[in-house]
Structure 1
Amino acid sequence: MSIGLFKQALLFLSNESRSRTPERFNRRFNRWFKWLAPGLLVKRWLLISAGGVLLTTLGLAIWVKLTPINRLIQLVNDVLEKITTIVPNYISGPLVIGGGLLLIFWGHTRSLNSITEVLKPSGDEELIDVLLTHRKLNRGPKIVAIGGGTGLSTLLRGLKAYSANITAIVTVADDGGSSGRLRREIGVLPPGDIRNCLTALADEEKLLTELFRYRFSAGDGLVGHSFGNLFLTAMSEITGDLERAIAASSKVLAVRGRVLPATLSDVRLWAQLEDGRRVEGESHITEAMGKIVKIGCIPANPPALPKAVQAIKEADYIIIGPGSLYTSIIPNLLVPEIADAIAQRKVPRIYVCNMMTQPGETQGYTVSDHINAIDKACGKKLFNAVLVQRKIPSAKALIRYAQEDSHPVYLDREAINLLGRRIVLSNIIYEDEKTGLVRHDSARLARVLLRWYSRAQSESIMGFHKL
């Protein structure tokens, strides 16, 4: 603040700035009122501090046998009697109280200004708003989101506005692009999907976030690599494994929540196609352009990262997807401990279905086909609801996708009901008007998912009470 509350109050009383001062006063008053919000853990400590001052004063009085205190009280009493003979007590009393309150507010304001200048040197956001947001996010539900690719990072970007207790469990089966090159040349686990999730959960305004996303367009051996991938690779070499590298990177990016690989094993996907071909490698599966009848990984049944399993066991809410069905979502569920942990939970569990079919993976798939593919790969039911886009994209988008043999995923209600899944319909689409690309809208998707979570919780509580 550039002006103290005490000085502002004097300006207000003297009507020196009639047009601007009331507005500033209201703004300051509202800011102070926020400090009284419940759950901020400020008021109780102020009261404890005041109690400590009183207790210390009482101790000193007892220690000196009250003699100086008695004299001081007598002196104050004499002074007050003199004042009340000149100015009546019904006037002098309120004036003294008002002066004392102004001094208290002034002192606290200047103290908080000093703290704010250190913690928030840019001054873009008030300290009280930062504290309120921090408390709100840390009281949010424990959410576990499972997937990979751009779909999971899109989801996380919206979820971080509702909770800081987010755990993203990410596939490490990627073998294409920059991640694939690093995997082949250096032998590290692919960092691409993890990097996307880290930046999605980070503060979008930070320069480091843009740095992690930066992709080199020149340089021998650097073209196509992103800085984040190289950073994670270097951190993996320094710290010893990808898990520690992610933890270190999370601190650098001030990530809300955490990102965990499904496994630390060097997993390689394989798929059995309808025409009899067996294709190995995540990128080769899509390129094969065949109908997938079975999918697995090498080594089979890889061990899960213990922290990932623990996160699922402690979760209040589990979200699977969105993302490429066979190359982003199912690879996580091929880790038996992860699939078993999800199946054992009784908390709300929902699958976010893709809006468009994907050539090379889900041509001609309906919503129930997506569900059946996950059930078949895991051998068990992992979720009790599926989120589906309500309206189809625009004609421009449909024409664009049709040229790539991609179409909206058809909602076959009866088949879904026979699978025992609840359908959640909502408009969660984002369509780029220039390119016609269709994606999930981060903010809408998160809002719908949190609304369904609250409703599912309420229904669960009501059902418990009925029992």
Structure 2
Amino acid sequence: MTSTQPRPFSRKPPRPRSTRQINRWSKWLQPGLVVKRWLLISAAGIILVSLGLAISIKLTPIFFTFQFIGKLVQAFAEVFPSYISGPIAILIGLFLIWWGQSRTLGSITEVLLPDGDRELVDRLLTHRRLGRGPKIVAIGGGTGLSTLLRGLKIYSANITAIVTMADDGGSSGRLRREIGVLPPGDIRNCLAALADEERLITELFQYRFESGAGLEGHSFGNLFITAMEKVTGDLEQAIAASSQVLAIRGQVLPASLTDMTLWAELADGRCVQGESNITEAGGRIIQIGCHPPHPPALPKAIQAIEDADYIILGPGSLFTSIAPNLLVPDITAALLNRHCPCVYVCNIMTQPGETDGYSVGDHIRVLDHVCGERVFDAVLMQKTPPSQITQSRYQLNHSQPVTINREELRELGCRLILADVMVENHAKKLVRHDSAKLAQVLMKWYERVGSLIGYD
């Protein structure tokens, strides 16, 4: 009878301590740390100082010192042959160098990083690698943008998230109406996604108070940013201060500091005011706009687009997360005059009340209409649809996979990127963009195709 007991888990024996030390120290020799050159410069400085002192005191003490050392070495060489004394001196010298540098780095890391110099060298390598990454601008809002940022920060620290300021629902809407601040919700999500300690910061910023007069329903992150805005004087400075506190990779910028209110004209003739009311209205949207009609852009956001190596639109709600950014004329103009590739990440599923029955081509037409012309080079779409079980759950809410019509895309003259960028939660029957997969596909496309696209 075959035993059904699982085999015991076998674990590889830990590597010897000496091997771990060698691997740890070998990292300090890797190029790009910008440490070795400064150590060599310091050594050259010590030699020059010694020579300067010798010259200034006319070499008298130095001469006798070297004379004594020479006699000592000569006596040592008479006792021990040169083929023994030479290597011994070299080994002792190397040991002293290693010991001195080890103690120096140990003292530094003991204060800065209690986890040791292994973490320090890893952080230095990561910092240098990310610092050389491309300048990426991600434009959108909602949970889609934060999902994208969570994956992109692995490839570059030069990330700028440009966020819509049209949110008027939930905690953000209450703070906007009661205190008169710009909505902090989407900014909160982006800051948490770009933070080094992402999991802890996300849990903290997403924490919602369940009781308390005036606190119930508010998230801690929204209150934190609102308090920062009151302390610093405006939202831009509040975001900058929050970014320093959270040690984020990159920067988060509002598309505009103007108090924007979205409006939508529906096919049945209704005109709906407010972002949260547009989705709830349940009609087919034929026109989208905002009050005031031409909000000025944040200058830093325009500068980020002009300096970008790569621009990504979405993912996110078409009319309430992506389009509001494009309703800022200066941002649209900057996108039209860009000098880098731009990709639109389309949603996987249609959104009830916004994009019912939409295909990829319908999404493209809406963005073309809002901007006046095409502002991106390609559209990224999920390659395979979710499982039938998951689709049946979405159908209860009148949602379905966004359809792909290659002939339609060919007529629109839009390049299509098909890839597996989805994660499916079978237990909850939910689909979302996968941060790691999405960022990997986008960066591979940028490296392979982006450089081949020419711009005037």
- TM-score w.r.t. length of structure 1: 0.92
Q: Who is 2:129 aligned against?
A: 136
Aligned pairs for 1:124-273 within 5 A: 126-204=119-197, 207-273=200-266
RMSD after superposition: 1.8
Match for 2:39: what amino acid? L
Whether the 8 Å CA contact 1:273–1:294 is kept in 2: the answer is yes
Distance 2:173 2:318 in 1: 19
Which of 371, 375, 379 matches 1:378?
A: 371
Whether the 8 Å CA contact 1:216–1:227 is kept in 2: the answer is yes
- Write out per-residue CA displacement over residues 330-353 of structure 1, whole angstroms, 9 at most, x where no aligned residue: 000000000110110131100000
Whether the 8 Å CA contact 1:269–1:281 is kept in 2: the answer is yes
Distance 1:21 1:68 in 2: 53
Q: Which runs of 5+ in 1 are unaligned?
A: 1-18
Displacement of 1:456 after TM fit? 2.3
Distance 1:354 1:171 in 2: 17
Q: Which runs of 5+ in 2 are unaligned?
A: 1-11
Match for 2:94: what amino acid? L
Secondary structure of 1:126 counterpart: helix
- Write out per-residue CA displacement over residues 354-397 of structure 1, whole angstroms, 9 at most, x where no aligned residue: 00000000011000110110010110211001101001111221
Secondary structure of 2:347 counterpart: coil
- Write out per-residue CA displacement over residues 226-269 of structure 1, whole angstroms, 9 at most, x where no aligned residue: 01101111221222211111111111111111100000101000
Displacement of 1:20 after TM fit? 9.0
Tell me the number of residue pairs that the alignment of Structure 1 and Structure 2 aligns: 445
Distance 2:119 2:231 in 1: 38
Displacement of 1:435 after TM fit? 0.4
Whether the 8 Å CA contact 1:146–1:319 is kept in 2: the answer is yes
Distance 1:74 1:335 in 2: 79
Aligned pairs for 1:116-131 within 5 A: 116-123=109-116, 126-131=119-124
Distance 1:135 1:201 in 2: 17
Q: Who is 1:316 aligned against?
A: 309
- Write out per-residue CA displacement over residues 282-336 of structure 1, whole angstroms, 9 at most, x where no aligned residue: 0100001110000000000100001100100000000000000000000000000
Q: Who is 2:84 aligned against?
A: 91
Whether the 8 Å CA contact 1:203–1:209 is kept in 2: the answer is no
Distance 2:204 2:430 in 1: 25
Shifted more, 369-378 versus 203-212: the winner is 203-212
Q: Who is 1:114 aligned against?
A: 107
Whether the 8 Å CA contact 1:165–1:256 is kept in 2: the answer is yes
Match for 2:356: what amino acid? Q
- Write out per-residue CA displacement over residues 397-419 of structure 1, whole angstroms, 9 at most, x where no aligned residue: 11110111100001111221222
Distance 1:432 1:21 in 2: 36
**Is it true that 1:296 corresponds to 2:322 in the alignment?**
no
Whether the 8 Å CA contact 2:138–2:145 is kept in 1: the answer is yes
Percent identity (aligned): 64
Which of 397, 405, 411 matches 1:404?
A: 397
**Is it true that 1:438 corresponds to 2:413 in the alignment?**
no
Q: Who is 2:361 aligned against?
A: 368
Whether the 8 Å CA contact 1:384–1:420 is kept in 2: the answer is no
Displacement of 1:203 after TM fit? 1.9
Whether the 8 Å CA contact 2:162–2:252 is kept in 1: the answer is yes
Distance 1:47 1:443, change over 3 A: same
Distance 1:392 1:22, change over 3 A: closer
Displacement of 1:70 after TM fit? 2.0
Distance 2:269 2:284 in 1: 10
**Is it true that 1:391 corresponds to 2:381 in the alignment?**
no
- TM-score w.r.t. length of structure 2: 0.94
Moved over 4 A (4+): 19-22, 122-125, 205-209
Q: Who is 2:272 aligned against?
A: 279
